[in-house]
Structure 1
Amino acid sequence: MSSKDWLEKDFYAVLGVNGSASADEIKKAYRKLARESHPDHNPGDAGAEDRFKAASEAYDVLSDERKRREYDEMRSLFGSGAFRRNARSGGQSGGGYPFDVSDLFGAAGGAGAGDRRFGGAGFSDLFSSIFSGGAGPGPARGPARGRDVEAEVVLDFDDAVRGVTVPLTLRAPGVCDTCHGDGAKPGTLPRTCPQCRGAGVVTRNQGSFSFSEPCRECQGVGTIVEEKCPECRGTGGVTKTRTLNVRFPAGVGDGQRIRLAGRGEPGERGGPAGDLFVLVKVRADELFGRTGDDLTLTVPITIAEAVLGTDLRVPTMDGAVTLRVPPGTPSGRRLRARGKGVVRRDGQAGDLLVTVEIAVPEQLSGEAREALERFAAQTPPAGREHLDARVRRFN
């Protein structure tokens, strides 16, 4: 978690408690949210997954006495106006020195750079770096993690239930094979930037403070390419097409995101690659529906089958089963075939839920009509006495 998150996120509001909540109240609020929004209880619900992650993030800070104290101090300091945005355009900080809060997180050259520098450092580490008079480390010049990549795959219903391996073709930036990422023409080397002497940053003074910013001469890289690679034109990267075989586990749901660690864009300067996130879309099936780990199926039966009962042969994902329809079954009754649904991660399976619907024939033969009329004459009333009593009130 970055220090910028500590400023922008209200962890107390996420858990639904106030700033004076006790440790027990915070734990109780977190457990309640975790139960309600846990991904295992809300399959395919991206919103629930986000709420679960937010609650876990908030609890990680507020359940730790030291982190909570630092979090409260940081928010109190910035909330009191000790630091203001756009200070260089005329505003002043509480101590009388011009200061732009974006310097905390953006000095390393663009969104996200500051987050990597201070990610997870907390309040004390963040400010010890800022107010060290330039003695602290500048923007990261070491390995940089590659960006995450997102893709979308459409699966057939059967494949989503059983699991499948799908080839996925991606077009994304990659390291140039000609210059191996340094941007220089083969046979030449980049030279060290004379302005920053290879550091990639230069230091500027503002009153009692010193701040580092990316070198404008080399754009923060630390080296200058004089003869550029003809393939990537000095950028060190090119767009590549690659094919990955992605395994989707049995029971993957519509809207679920599959994370493939290290299969995103390559890192910079030897840094780790980002992750690949694959969004799953599942085509509807002509017979089966799905509710969580249960499969659903609607089967028509005749009036006679509903009245007399019958043995109903129905399909499953791996064969067929026979279900007993008891005599006097009403339309809409649900029958259950246990263990014939979607296989869960623990090896257990959901159920097949079969809803029977009485099919009313549109046409009858003469004999069938006569038989039905005889049946109706011998059938007792359908229990509409309470309705008939209400009707008689209006006569």
Structure 2
Amino acid sequence: MARDFYEVLGVPRDADQSEIQRAYRKRARTLHPDVNKELRAEEAFKELSEAYDVLSDPDQRKRYDAFGEDFRRVGAEVDPDAYSRARAHAGAGAGGGRPRGWGGGGGPSDGFRYSGSGDVDLEDLLGGIFGGRGGGRGGWGPVSGSDHETEMEVTVEEAYNGTERTLSINGPDGPRTIDVNIPAGVVDGQRIRLRGQGGQGSGGGETGDLYLIVRIAPHPRYRLDGRDLHVLLPLAPWEAALGASVDIDTPGGSATVNVPAGTSSHRRLRLKGRGLPNRRGKPGDLYAEAQIKVPRSPSADERELLEQLGKVSTFNPRSAR
């Protein structure tokens, strides 16, 4: 049985969206494969991303709260609010317990029926979608198709701006292609749901879903940490010493970094909001790391000026101060 998504994020079931987002960001910092090299970390990060994708989406969260780990198998025609009310009525009629079979052997209804003033029938509500016998109907109900997963690699620029891809799928009627929209701001390990593109159902059951797991390819210039972008910023010695305004390329276009006077190598300069965008919250930031460069073959004038600087300067880079 899969772990409870609330447990994965470490939040209570009544957590609001801001709590869910904070919990995800906190755990993602320690579990991201770029930071944590433990064997379990990558799987834990995937599990965390799946939990966040579901609980940060109000519609998916409502279905997860109603149907538990089977929420993807339950057909869209089943109303989660109605089912939750049915479970509440059923629990009240049975001394406050859960309907028999929910979370145990069999399907969510497992033959349980409730009839009272509300006239609620769990089998009628679920429509036999789990392959159990439809109470009062006879025979076997429809069975939904299985969900499938596949990975898709995108570049940092595609993750920033969004992109479209054509995906080839082998179905029962032969190969076919579908156009996939990758939204701007996807992060590594994020799951994208393609409704109805998974395994075929039987007995009139709905087709399962296909989940694309996004993988962001290594980049020669940028490094990603969640939604934050990191890039090296080469500086001339005089730019670092005196300060300067330097233009740099980012996935979202050109940006200007204001370099304070006295900047040394490895100092990180933050450009707020210039990381990966975020449809559900704040975007990431861009961090430009100073990297002081010197001329390999200084001209005669440059050499003379550097020699003069060496004579008059009292600066000692090896001093503790």
Q: Distance in 2 between matches of 1:254 and 1:36?
A: 18
- Counterpart among 294, 301, 304 of residue 235 in structure 2: 301
Q: Give per-residue Cα distances to partners, 1:10-37, cap 9 Å, x unaligned.
A: 97xx59x9xxxxxxxx959989x95665
Q: 2:163 aligns to what?
A: 164
Percent identity, aligned pairs only?
Answer: 28
The 2-side partners of 1:345 and 1:286 are apart by 26
* CA shift for structure 1 position 169: 0.6
Q: What is the rounded CA distance, in whole Å, between the counterparts of 1:339 and 1:159 in structure 2?
A: 17
Kindly tell me: are residues 162 and 282 of structure 1, through their superposed partners in 2, closer, same or farther at Cα, counting changes over 3 Å? same
Question: Which structure has more RCO (C-alpha within 8 Å, separation ≥ 6)?
Answer: 1
How far 1:344 moved relative to its partner?
Answer: 1.4
Indicate the residue corresponding to 1:214 in structure 2. none
Q: CA deviation at 1:302?
A: 1.4
Query: Do residues 38 (structure 1) and 37 (structure 2) align?
Result: no
CA distance in 1, matches of 2:222, 2:143: 47
User: Does the 8 A contact of 2:161 with 2:252 survive in 1?
Assistant: no
| Aligned-CA RMSD value | 4.8
State TM-score, norm by structure 2: 0.62
Describe the superposition over 1:54-86 as per-residue Cα deviations: whole angstroms up to 9, x where unpaired: 9x979999xx99599647x999xxxxxxxxxxx
2:143 matched residue in structure 1: 144
Judge conservation of contact 2:188–2:226 (CA < 8 Å) in 1: no
Q: How does 1:270-349 map to 2 (within 5 A)?
A: 270-346=204-280, 349=283
Matches within 5 A, 1:238-253: 240-253=174-187
Match of residue 48 from structure 2: 48
Query: What CA distance in whole angstroms lies between the structure 1 residues aligned with 2:200 and 2:143?
Result: 9
Match in the other structure for 1:378: 312
The aligned counterpart of 2:40 is none
Aligned partner of residue 315 in structure 1, secondary structure: strand
Aligned-partner Cα distance in 1 for 2:3–2:283: 40
Give the TM-score, by structure 1 length.
0.52
AA in 2 matched with 1:301: L
Selected match of 1:259 from 181, 184, 193? 193
Residue 319 of structure 2 is aligned to residue 356 of structure 1 = no
- Report the equivalent of 2:172: 173
Measured after TM superposition, the shift of residue 48 of structure 1 is 1.6
Larger radius of gyration: 1
Q: 2-side partners of 1:10 and 1:140: how far apart?
A: 33
Question: Aligned partners of 1:39, 1:137: CA distance in 2, in Å?
Answer: 48
Displacement of 1:163: 0.9
CA distance in 2: counterparts of 1:303 and 1:338, whole angstroms:
25
* Cα pair 2:145 2:205 within 8 Å, conserved: yes
Q: What letter is aligned with 2:24?
A: H
Change in Cα spacing, 1:168 to 1:50, as seen in structure 2 (3 Å) is closer
Secondary structure of the residue aligned to 2:247 is strand
In structure 2, stretches of 5+ residues that fail to align are 33-44, 56-60, 69-86, 115-122, 124-132
Q: CA deviation at 1:304?
A: 1.7
SS at match of 2:172: strand
- Asked if structure 1 preserves the Cα contact closer than 8 Å seen for 2:230 and 2:286, the reply is yes
Question: What amino acid maps onto 1:153 in structure 2?
Answer: M
Partner of 1:369: 303
Distance of aligned partners of 1:143 and 1:310 in 2 relative to their CA distance in 1, 3 Å threshold: same
